Amino acid sequence: MSTTMYDQIQQEKISTMAEADAGTGATTTRSAFTHQTGQVLVTLGTLFKHVPPFNDTIDKSTSETLISLGKKLKATK
């Protein structure tokens, strides 16, 4: 995994924790799971799109679909 992808993942974790602490302060288990699932999909889509062993074998539209679905799940509250 490249350093920039690792940094991106770390930033996502930090922003997720900050969002969970902000607002009402009480996040339901379901919304936390949905948000984390969205993060995983965005990360996998980015990985499949930019890392050479994956982007040679996985179709570009697949990675874009994963990223799109992940962003929608992350936005769900």
In the block, tokens 């570009």 appear at 60
Higher pLDDT, 59 or 3: 59
- Cα–Cα distance measured from residue 22 to residue 36, given in angstroms and rounded to the nearest whole number: 16
- Cα–Cα distance measured from residue 7 to residue 49, given in angstroms and rounded to the nearest whole number: 17
- Mean of pLDDT over the chain: 81
* 68: containing domain: 3-75
> What total of structural domains would you count in the chain?
1
Sign of torsion, CA 30 32 35 39?
negative
pLDDT, position 8: 75
> What is the chain's length?
77
